[in-house]
Amino acid sequence: MQALHLLMGKILHSRKGRLRAWMGTLGLGIAALLLLIAVQMQADFSELLEGKQNKEDNTQYLVINRQLNNNNLNAGGLREEELAALKKLPEVSAVGIMQPGYFKASLSSTSDRFPFYTDVSFETVSSDFLDEIPEHWTWQEKDDYVPIIVPSLYLDLYNFQFALAQQLPQLTPEVVKMIFFNIRIQGPKGELVLKGKVAGFSDRIQSMLVPQEFMQWCNARFAQGEKRNPSRILIKTKDATSPVLNQFLEKNQLQADKEKTRFSKYREIVNWIAGISGLSGLLMLVFAALVLSLFIQLNIVSKQDEIRLLIQLGASPQQMIGFLMKKFFPPNAIIVLIALGLVAILQYLLFGWLQKKTIGVSAWISPLTLITALLLILLMGVVNRIAIGKSVKENPTL
């Protein structure tokens, strides 16, 4: 068989077809390289945006409420179906209801030496969503005081604006936590004065929070009006910039912390660019497969006399197809493997370059790129087999 293929190779070998063969091979190589780069880019984008290496501390909490405009003022909070749909989003790992107090409340000083008074409102949320859980974060009727979590921002406002303007002493968080004050609760069913104390500060939630037990007790005793939908919720997400999540919010006229979701638009653009580069790579591949198929057929047509004589002398279609496959397929497969090797080198260089910028991508090509290369080789085999089979079987001497 080897001697026969050597002779057939000599019969079909000619100088005039060599340039065409090189051009066809080069075209195939460029197309394979483009496609594999596009696939690897997609894998790198995914790793950058969703990979563990870059997402270790990326769990974020977003406070979500309805976008207010002139048409939906006092229209109510988030509907049950919106909450159910939100829970189903893969980007959302947990949803916490921020339960408001439906009663009037105020804080005032217990001492005439440092008098203060302010009206307030409280909210509560499951402790799973707190950035810092105070030591005694619960409440019972017999307790001496009500623990409260306040935004860190409030203390900053006091220390760096109000205290300076009013010539009052600045206070550390520890000092604030030592101060007791009166909490006055008022509702249609009466009023009550309790002791309260700041138990902790939150960077995450811009609201005055009380334990859930206290909120339930107060709402049951002092709430005004009927029960309403929650006006704010808190979600836990590993990807605050997810275009899917942000499109959902936009569609349902909801809004979240814009600072945290700002990059959603950029990510969408990046996804589009990656998609377009993948699509153009695929189109290039289809084009290259077409050129390759035409090249093989042209090459065979240019050797028609020799092939015809081989068939007249008794070469079977299987012998011809076997030989022509052996002649054309391995170089094509090698081209794809070379393209894969180039992508692997480029990926390693990219890894080194991005590492200096503390951006983590894998040093190796992704399994998807490898699978694509194998599929490409398979596709080359099919294209070769069809083109050769067609050319041999169309030979008039058969």
* Residues binding another protein (CB under 8 A): 3-4, 7, 10-11, 306, 309, 311-319, 393, 397-398
Q: Is 33:347 a contact under the CB 8 Å cutoff?
A: no
| Beta strand extents in 38-116 (DSSP E only) | 60-66, 92-100, 104-109
Q: Is 187 helix (H, G, I), strand (E, B) or coil?
A: strand
Q: Supply the minimum distance, in Å, between the C-beta of residue 299 and another protein.
A: 17
Q: Supply the minimum distance, in Å, between the C-beta of residue 11 and another protein.
A: 6
Nearer to another protein, 213 or 306 (CB): 306
Task: Return the structure tokens found at 56.
Answer: 């270790």
Nearer to another protein, 119 or 394 (CB): 394
Length of the chain (residues): 398
Nearer to another protein, 56 or 305 (CB): 305
Q: Supply the minimum distance, in Å, between the C-beta of residue 350 and another protein.
A: 49
Q: Supply the minimum distance, in Å, between the C-beta of residue 38 and another protein.
A: 42
Nearer to another protein, 7 or 371 (CB): 7
Q: Is 325:386 a contact under the CB 8 Å cutoff?
A: no
**Alpha-carbon distance 213 to 138, whole Å?**
7
**Alpha-carbon distance 180 to 49, whole Å?**
46
Q: Which helix (DSSP H) or strand (DSSP E) does residue 192 occupy?
A: strand 190-202
Q: Is 255:67 a contact under the CB 8 Å cutoff?
A: yes
Q: Supply the minimum distance, in Å, between the C-beta of residue 391 and another protein.
A: 13
Q: Of 34, 31, 37, 33, nearest to 288 (Cα)?
A: 31
Measured N-to-C along each axis, helices 317-356 and 367-393 cross at an angle, to the nearest 10 degrees, of 160
Nearer to another protein, 210 or 311 (CB): 311
Nearer to another protein, 118 or 312 (CB): 312
Q: Where are the alpha helices (DSSP H) in 69-208?
A: 80-88, 152-157, 163-166, 173-178
**Alpha-carbon distance 165 to 150, whole Å?**
22
Q: Supply the minimum distance, in Å, between the C-beta of residue 292 and another protein.
A: 25
Phi, psi angle pair for 63, to nearest 5°: -90, 125
Q: Is 389 helix (H, G, I), strand (E, B) or coil?
A: helix
Q: Is 355:380 a contact under the CB 8 Å cutoff?
A: no
Q: Supply the minimum distance, in Å, between the C-beta of residue 351 and another protein.
A: 52
**Alpha-carbon distance 356 to 350, whole Å?**
10
Q: Supply the minimum distance, in Å, between the C-beta of residue 319 and another protein.
A: 7
Nearer to another protein, 224 or 316 (CB): 316
Nearer to another protein, 278 or 317 (CB): 317
Q: Supply the minimum distance, in Å, between the C-beta of residue 31 and another protein.
A: 34
Nearer to another protein, 67 or 397 (CB): 397
User: Alpha carbon of 366 to those of 50, 51, 252, 371, 385: distances in Å?
Assistant: 14, 12, 37, 9, 29
